[in-house]
Amino acid sequence: MNRKMRMGMIGGGQGAFIGAVHRMAAALDGQIELVCGAFSSDAARSKASGEDLFLPAHRVYGSYEEMMEQERGLPEGERMDFVSIVTPNHVHFGAAKAALLKGFHVVCDKPLCLNMEEALELEALVEETGLLFALTHNYTGYPMVKQAKAMIQDGELGAIRKVVAEYPQGWLSTFLEGSDQKQAAWRTDPARSGAAGAMGDIGTHAENLLEYITGLRIDAVCADLTAFVPGRRLDDDGNVLLRFDNGAKGILFASQIAAGEENNLSIRVYGEKGGIEWRQMEPNTLTVRWLDGPTQMLRTGVGPLHPSAQAHARIPAGHPEGYLEAFANIYRNFAHCLRARLEGRSADPLYADFPSVSDGVRGMRFIEKVVESSREEQWVRV
Amino acid sequence: MNRKMRMGMIGGGQGAFIGAVHRMAAALDGQIELVCGAFSSDAARSKASGEDLFLPAHRVYGSYEEMMEQERGLPEGERMDFVSIVTPNHVHFGAAKAALLKGFHVVCDKPLCLNMEEALELEALVEETGLLFALTHNYTGYPMVKQAKAMIQDGELGAIRKVVAEYPQGWLSTFLEGSDQKQAAWRTDPARSGAAGAMGDIGTHAENLLEYITGLRIDAVCADLTAFVPGRRLDDDGNVLLRFDNGAKGILFASQIAAGEENNLSIRVYGEKGGIEWRQMEPNTLTVRWLDGPTQMLRTGVGPLHPSAQAHARIPAGHPEGYLEAFANIYRNFAHCLRARLEGRSADPLYADFPSVSDGVRGMRFIEKVVESSREEQWVRV
Amino acid sequence: MNRKMRMGMIGGGQGAFIGAVHRMAAALDGQIELVCGAFSSDAARSKASGEDLFLPAHRVYGSYEEMMEQERGLPEGERMDFVSIVTPNHVHFGAAKAALLKGFHVVCDKPLCLNMEEALELEALVEETGLLFALTHNYTGYPMVKQAKAMIQDGELGAIRKVVAEYPQGWLSTFLEGSDQKQAAWRTDPARSGAAGAMGDIGTHAENLLEYITGLRIDAVCADLTAFVPGRRLDDDGNVLLRFDNGAKGILFASQIAAGEENNLSIRVYGEKGGIEWRQMEPNTLTVRWLDGPTQMLRTGVGPLHPSAQAHARIPAGHPEGYLEAFANIYRNFAHCLRARLEGRSADPLYADFPSVSDGVRGMRFIEKVVESSREEQWVRV
Amino acid sequence: MNRKMRMGMIGGGQGAFIGAVHRMAAALDGQIELVCGAFSSDAARSKASGEDLFLPAHRVYGSYEEMMEQERGLPEGERMDFVSIVTPNHVHFGAAKAALLKGFHVVCDKPLCLNMEEALELEALVEETGLLFALTHNYTGYPMVKQAKAMIQDGELGAIRKVVAEYPQGWLSTFLEGSDQKQAAWRTDPARSGAAGAMGDIGTHAENLLEYITGLRIDAVCADLTAFVPGRRLDDDGNVLLRFDNGAKGILFASQIAAGEENNLSIRVYGEKGGIEWRQMEPNTLTVRWLDGPTQMLRTGVGPLHPSAQAHARIPAGHPEGYLEAFANIYRNFAHCLRARLEGRSADPLYADFPSVSDGVRGMRFIEKVVESSREEQWVRV
pLDDT digits (tens, 9 = 90+) for D260-294: 999 999 999 999 999 999 999 999 999 999 998 89
Chain C residues whose beta carbon lies within 8 Å of the beta carbon of residue B276 = none
Chain B residues whose beta carbon lies within 8 Å of the beta carbon of residue A237 = 161-162, 249
With CA atoms as reference, the chain B residue closest to C303 would be B293
Cα–Cα nearest to A24, from C313, B363, B133, D167: C313
pTM over 0.95: yes
Cβ-count burial of A150 within 10 angstroms (0-12 exposed, 13-18 middle, 19+ buried)? Answer: middle
Question: Which architecture, in CATH terms, is A141-317+361-381?
Answer: 2-Layer Sandwich (3.30)
What tens-digit pLDDT sequence spans chain B (382 residues)?
789 999 999 999 998 889 999 999 999 999 999 999 999 999 999 999 999 999 999 999 999 999 999 999 999 889 999 999 999 999 999 999 999 999 999 999 999 999 999 999 999 999 999 999 999 999 999 999 999 999 999 999 999 999 999 999 999 999 999 998 889 999 999 999 999 999 999 999 999 999 999 999 999 999 999 999 999 999 999 999 999 999 999 999 999 999 999 999 999 999 999 999 999 999 999 999 999 899 999 999 998 999 999 999 999 999 999 999 999 999 999 999 999 999 999 999 999 999 999 999 999 999 999 999 999 999 999 9
Helix (H) or strand (E) segment spanning residue C119? helix C116-129
Residue D228 CB partners (closer than 8 Å, separation 6+):
C161, C162, D236, D237, D257
Torsion of CA C143, C149, C152, C153, to 10 degrees: -120
Rounded to a whole number of angstroms, the distance from the CA of D282 to the nearest CA of chain A is 16
C5-131 and C140-315+361-381 have identical folds: no
Contact present, A18 and A109 (Cβ < 8 Å): yes
Q: In a 3-state reduction of DSSP, which class is residue D303? A: coil
Helix (H) or strand (E) segment spanning residue A165? strand A160-168
Cβ-count burial of B45 within 10 angstroms (0-12 exposed, 13-18 middle, 19+ buried)? Answer: middle
What is the per-residue pLDDT for D18?
93
Of B292, B294, B299, the CB nearest to C297: B294
User: How do beta strands B133-135 and B105-108 pair?
Assistant: parallel
Contact present, D262 and D281 (Cβ < 8 Å): yes
Residue D180 pLDDT greater than 90, yes or no:
no
Contact present, D262 and B317 (Cβ < 8 Å): yes
CA end-to-end span of chain D: 44
- Are B224 and A249 a contacting pair at CB < 8 A? yes
Handedness of CA B88, B91, B97, B98 (dihedral sign): negative
Question: Which architecture, in CATH terms, is D142-327+361-381?
Answer: 2-Layer Sandwich (3.30)
- Are C273 and D295 a contacting pair at CB < 8 A? no
- Are C315 and A325 a contacting pair at CB < 8 A? no
pLDDT, tens only, C41-93? 999 999 999 999 999 999 999 999 999 999 999 998 899 999 999 999 999 99
Chain C residues whose beta carbon lies within 8 Å of the beta carbon of residue A255 = none
Helix (H) or strand (E) segment spanning residue B225? strand B218-226
Cα–Cα nearest to A243, from D23, B93, B226, C106: B226
CA end-to-end span of chain C: 44
What is the per-residue pLDDT for B17?
86
- Are A323 and C324 a contacting pair at CB < 8 A? no
Contact present, D166 and D266 (Cβ < 8 Å): yes
- Are B161 and A378 a contacting pair at CB < 8 A? no
Helix (H) or strand (E) segment spanning residue A152? helix A143-153
Q: What single DSSP character describes residue C355?
A: -
Cα–Cα nearest to B30, from B56, B3, B60: B3
- Are A295 and D304 a contacting pair at CB < 8 A? no
Q: Which residues of D touch B (CB under 8 A)?
A: 2-4, 17, 20-21, 23-24, 27-30, 34, 51, 53-54, 169, 171, 261-264, 280-284, 299, 301-302, 314-325
Counting Cα atoms < 13 Å in the Cβ hemisphere of B289 gives: 25
Fold of C5-131: Rossmann fold (3.40.50)
Report the alpha-carbon distance of residue B318 to residue B301 in Å, rounded.
Answer: 8
Average pLDDT over residues D124-134: 98
What is the per-residue pLDDT for D367?
98
Cα–Cα nearest to A295, from A320, A265, A274: A274
Of B2, B34, B323, the CB nearest to D320: B323
- Are C2 and A323 a contacting pair at CB < 8 A? no
- Tell me the Cα Rg of chain A: 21
Domain boundaries defined on chain C? 5-131, 140-315+361-381
Residue D303 pLDDT greater than 80, yes or no:
yes
Rounded to a whole number of angstroms, the distance from the CA of C86 to the nearest CA of chain D is 28
Bridge partners, A266 (sequence order): A166, A279
- Are A273 and B259 a contacting pair at CB < 8 A? yes
Contact present, A115 and A363 (Cβ < 8 Å): no
Report the alpha-carbon distance of residue A288 to residue A297 in Å, rounded.
Answer: 6
What is the per-residue pLDDT for B305?
96
Rounded to a whole number of angstroms, the distance from the CA of B157 to the nearest CA of chain A is 9
Of B259, B268, B288, the CB nearest to A291: B259
Helix (H) or strand (E) segment spanning residue D285? strand D285-290
Q: Rounded to whole angstroms, what are the CA distances from D9 to D36, D53, D84?
A: 7, 11, 5
Residue A189 CB partners (closer than 8 Å, separation 6+):
A177, A233, A234
Could you count the other beta carbons within 10 Å of the beta carbon of residue B2?
10
* Cβ burial B222-258 (10 Å sphere, 16+ → b, else e): bbbbbbbbeebebbbbbbbbbbbeeebbbbbbbbbbb
Of D166, D168, D226, the CB nearest to C249: D226
Of A292, A294, A304, the CB nearest to D298: A294
Fold of C140-315+361-381: Dihydrodipicolinate Reductase; domain 2 (3.30.360)
Cα–Cα nearest to B288, from A255, D117, C293, D356: C293
pLDDT, tens only, C261-273? 999 999 999 999 9
Helix (H) or strand (E) segment spanning residue A343? helix A323-343
Helix (H) or strand (E) segment spanning residue C10? strand C5-10
Residue A229 CB partners (closer than 8 Å, separation 6+):
A172, A173, A174, A175, A236, A257
- Are D253 and C289 a contacting pair at CB < 8 A? no
What is the per-residue pLDDT for A77?
87
Contact present, B254 and C264 (Cβ < 8 Å): no
Helix (H) or strand (E) segment spanning residue D289? strand D285-290
Helix (H) or strand (E) segment spanning residue D37? strand D32-38
Q: B–D: how many Cβ contacts below 8 A?
A: 115
Of C169, C171, C318, the CB nearest to A281: C318
Q: Domain spanning B141-328+361-381 has what CATH number?
A: 3.30.360.10
Rounded to a whole number of angstroms, the distance from the CA of B29 to the nearest CA of chain D is 6
- B partners (3+ CB pairs within 8 A) are A, C, D
Cα–Cα nearest to A214, from A235, A240, A242, A233: A242
- Are A4 and C281 a contacting pair at CB < 8 A? no
- Are B324 and D314 a contacting pair at CB < 8 A? yes
What tens-digit pLDDT sequence spans chain A (382 residues)?
789 999 999 999 998 889 999 999 999 999 999 999 999 999 999 999 999 999 999 999 999 999 999 999 999 889 999 999 999 999 999 999 999 999 999 999 999 999 999 999 999 999 999 999 999 999 999 999 999 999 999 999 999 999 999 999 999 999 999 998 889 999 999 999 999 999 999 999 999 999 999 999 999 999 999 999 999 999 999 999 999 999 999 999 999 999 999 999 999 999 999 999 999 999 999 999 999 889 999 999 998 999 999 999 999 999 999 999 999 999 999 999 999 999 999 999 999 999 999 999 999 999 999 999 999 999 999 9
Q: Rounded to whole angstroms, what are the CA distances from B166 to A224, B159, B163, B205, B289?
A: 18, 21, 10, 10, 19
Of D27, D315, D323, the CB nearest to B21: D315
What is the per-residue pLDDT for C303?
85
Cα–Cα nearest to D4, from D342, D348, D347: D342
B contact test, residue of D7, D166, D201, D262 with most B CBs within 10 A: D262
CA-based angle D52:D333:B35, to the nearest 5? 45
Q: Rounded to whole angstroms, what are the CA distances from A174 to A54, A186, A202, A256, A290?
A: 38, 15, 18, 10, 41
Confidence grade of residue C34 (pLDDT, cut at 50, 70, 90): very high
CA end-to-end span of chain A: 44
Q: A–D: how many Cβ contacts below 8 A?
A: 40
Of C164, C257, C274, the CB nearest to D260: C274
- Are D24 and B29 a contacting pair at CB < 8 A? yes
What is the per-residue pLDDT for A180?
81
C contact test, residue of D160, D164, D242, D246 with most C CBs within 10 A: D164
pLDDT, tens only, D150-164? 999 999 999 999 999
With CA atoms as reference, the chain B residue closest to D139 would be B319
Q: Which residues of B touch C (CB under 8 A)?
A: 288, 290, 292-299, 302-304
Chain D residues whose beta carbon lies within 8 Å of the beta carbon of residue A275 = none
- Are A318 and C261 a contacting pair at CB < 8 A? yes
Contact present, B134 and B252 (Cβ < 8 Å): no
Handedness of CA A189, A190, A196, A202 (dihedral sign): negative
Rounded to a whole number of angstroms, the distance from the CA of C319 to the nearest CA of chain D is 25
Q: Which residues of C touch D (CB under 8 A)?
A: 157-158, 161-162, 164, 166, 168, 170, 173-174, 222, 224, 226, 228, 237, 239, 241, 243, 249-251, 253, 255, 257-261, 268, 270-275, 288-291, 295, 377-379
